[in-house]
A and B are shown apart, each in its own frame.
Chain A
Amino acid sequence: MSTVIKVENVGKMYRLRHSSGHRYKTFREEIVGGVRSVFSPGKNSGTTEEFWALKNISFDIKQGDRIGIIGRNGAGKSTLLKILSRITDPTEGRVSIKGRVASLLEVGTGFHPELTGKENIFLNGSILGMTRDEIRKRFDEIVAFAEVEKFLDTPIKRYSSGMYVRLAFAVAAHLEPEILIVDEVLAVGDAQFQKKCLGKMEEVSKNDGRTVLFVSHNMATIQYLCNQCMYLKQGLFSASGNTQDVISKYLMESVETGSADLRNNRNREGNQRITFTDVSFRSIGGESKRSLQCGEDVVMDLHFNVKDSRPVNGLHFSVGIDDHLGQRITYFSNEITNQVFSNVESGNYKVSIEMKKLPLKQGNYSYTLFSTVGGEIADWVKNAGSFFVEAGDYFHTGKLPDSDQGTFYINHSFSLNKE
């Protein structure tokens, strides 16, 4: 198979500008400086910091490959896609591409709310690179896929958000480029439509032999669609190759970091009468764990700190667990279990949540931490971290339900009686 994308030593640097605030400029200096910088942009006063969003990226992609790109937020996935789809320039290196490229970095790019569904199909199609004849040829298919026949002449500002997404994806799904670049766009719409999208993606990539690059945080989708995988970490190549191996490596590492430090997490709310500092997992015996296994007993330790000189009363904790789709699947709270803590003096503590026989199926989960003191929010960290649950012998039979049969397990038994 021939190479269709060749990436050699690509890097992308952004300049972060820190304004030098301590020196005031006169209005005249501002104007003169401003006019000067219009004609020679780049030479700017103030300190700038170089930030490499991507560095030393090299790889080859062969025709028909389906490549998954994974990594945490800010790892450079989207930047890489933007370079490959020519939206932005690399700072160094070289990319060579053979064939027509279509990129889908957002659902409904260029949709105009005032235009009707029909008008938007043509507009969006042409923005994504289809010719008018191609759109006309596939128009009926697109409309049928989006299930919006009745609303073709309605301005899409009156569409429900579901209809909007369906229409947008339908147009994109009917592109026929040789290389398709897709950023995380499937994580929208209802479950049924997601399934339909996934099927369409599969059809496009597997059956038509097209080259697909696909960014997602959903490992199941990547596993399902991609035959190869790349793992980016802070702008660098961390691993690439067989999808399963790369995903395992990613999950291992993300679990490590997932149960890490919360002290520097600024994405939090509350009066901070208590502050979460760390989250860790262990077995009941005390052995610390990097990944969990379904069916085993687990303890989740929330480490926190009380700085207040007054003792803290009415201390509530709750933890929400989300699956990889961001769906809340369960919730722990000491208010529900009637175990509210009081009279907690300043110092470092941990509160432990014991879970018997973990019923979660294999996958990545994230958690949100929430606490109140005397009814007021003390510390609230959304998506504080994540953990991975490996498949385990939940039923002690060596068997598990198929992965598309539900999201959790319930211990059960069957019996047969004659009536």
Chain B
Amino acid sequence: MSADFDIIIEPKKNIGHYWRELWRFRGLLYFLAWRDFLVRYKQTVLGVSWSLIRPLITLVVFTLVFGKIAKLPANGIPYSLLVCAALIPWQFFSNAFTEASQSLISNSNLLSKVYFPRLLVPASTLLVAIVDFLISLIILAGLMMWFHFVPPITILLLPLFFLFALMVSFGAGVFIAAVNVKYRDFRYVVPFIVQAGLYISPVGFSSSVVPEKYRLLYSLNPMVGIIDGFRWCLLGNNAQIYMPGFVLSIGFTLLLMIFGIKYFRNFEKGFADII
């Protein structure tokens, strides 16, 4: 008899066909992302061009501070290009992570009034960050043309490293989003992580400036492996990947993603009660 029913609701039981359910609601994923994207630049004069201006300014500042003032080595690559190749994945991470970790709280009215797989909310913020990422690629292309820099064939591997960046942002974002529902403290922790992360990740400098004996430790930061990967893809052999550290970074990335989603799913059903 119970086989006739489509939905069985029981306490503490995860919904069967979780991923199929997620797929069924994919339209909503698109609409939530579409809303966030539309809303962001409403009533602004410059509109979407802000997606270009923000990373451009950071790029200029970093090139000046690290390349011209601190005079860090660049292995023969134009310094702004070195920064740009790292800034793009970093900006993606910081956008996606920040937005995803706040997403449940800023959509609390939805969570308490409508049912849908909750994972869609942080996932939709990721979609918006991806659009920003694609826009910021324009800056990179522009710089490469300016310096007459022909990217190596390894550029074809870029999507793979982007996938890793996606996984770090999603894993961390989803975890913080779930914790944030109950403990709003993390609202203050996130900006700090992003700000500090910018300086302890090799964005403004090449990770080769880090002393050899600390490099493995340094690679515990998953963004190190990803940024190195981006540089290697885009700039070729001039930017070497430190292999043991890279494996560690990627391993940590996978772990973070699996843990983040697991944690989220464990507490997903209680969100409406405590948000």
A residues contacting B by CB (< 8 A) are 2, 6, 14, 34, 38, 41, 82-99, 101, 103, 105-106, 109-110, 112, 114-115, 119, 122-123, 126-128, 131-132, 155
Contacts and interface: CB of A to CB of B under 8 A. Distances in A.
A126 B267 CA distance: 25
B192 to A, nearest CB: 16
Contacts of A101: 7, 115
Given A34-B183, A84-B9, A85-B115, 7 more contacts: A86-B115, A95-B7, A96-B8, A98-B7, A101-B115, A109-B110, A127-B28
A97 B38 contact: no
B2 A96 contact: yes
B262 interface: no
B2 A109 contact: no
A213 B42 CA distance: 38
Query: Can you list the 7 inter-chain pairs with the closest CB atoms, starting with the nearest?
Result: A96-B5, A95-B9, A86-B115, A126-B31, A97-B7, A114-B42, A109-B113
A92 B39 CA distance: 41
6 contacts: A34-B185, A82-B272, A90-B9, A99-B6, A101-B115, A105-B114
Contacts of A85: 114-115
Contacts of B76: none
A2 B115 CA distance: 25
A41 B114 contact: no
B10 A90 contact: yes
Contact of A97 (B6, B11, B34, B109): B6
B269 A123 contact: no
B13 to A, nearest CB: 9
A87 B42 contact: no
Contacts of A112: 35, 39
A131 B5 contact: no
Contacts, number: 105
Nearest to A109: B113
Nearest to B40: A114
A321 to B, nearest CB: 33
A32 to B, nearest CB: 14
B9 A83 contact: yes
A122 B9 contact: no
Contacts of A122: 31
A106 B110 CA distance: 10
Nearest to B25: A129
Contacts of B11: 89-93
B35 A6 contact: no
A58 to B, nearest CB: 14
Contacts of B16: none
Nearest to A125: B31
Interface string B27-55: 11001001100110011000000000000
A109 B182 CA distance: 22
Contacts of A91: 11
Contacts of A89: 9, 11-12, 269-270
Interface centre among A86, A90, A109, A131 (most CB of B within 10 A): A86
A92 B9 CA distance: 10
A88 B114 CA distance: 10
A122 B183 CA distance: 33
B47 to A, nearest CB: 13
Given A14-B273, A126-B28, A127-B114, A119 B38 contact: yes
A127 B31 contact: yes
Nearest to B41: A114
A38 B183 contact: yes
B112 interface: yes
Interface in B226-275: 267, 269-270, 272-273
Contacts of B31: 122-123, 126-127
B179 interface: yes
A155 to B, nearest CB: 7
A131 B113 CA distance: 19
B39 A115 contact: yes
B267 A6 contact: no
Contact of A38 (B34, B110, B179): B179
Nearest to B274: A41
A192 B84 CA distance: 60
A94 B38 contact: no
A98 B12 contact: no
A97 B28 CA distance: 22
Contacts of A155: 42
A96 B110 contact: no
Given A110-B109, A110-B114, A128-B114, A97 B267 contact: no
Count chain A CB atoms within 10 A of each CB in B10, B38, B116, B267 and give the residue with the most: B10
A114 B115 contact: no
Interface string B135-163: 00000000000000000000000000000
A103 B182 CA distance: 25
Contacts of B269: 88-89
Nearest to B43: A114
Given A41-B267, A110-B109, A126 B5 contact: no
Contacts of A97: 5-9
A126 B273 contact: no
B9 A86 contact: yes
Given A38-B179, A87-B114, A109-B109, A132 B27 contact: yes
Nearest to B8: A96
Contacts of A132: 27
A97 B34 CA distance: 31
A88 B35 CA distance: 25
Q: Which of B2, B5, B272 has the most CB of A within 10 A?
A: B5
A32 B194 CA distance: 24
B9 A110 contact: no
A92 B10 CA distance: 7
Nearest to B110: A110
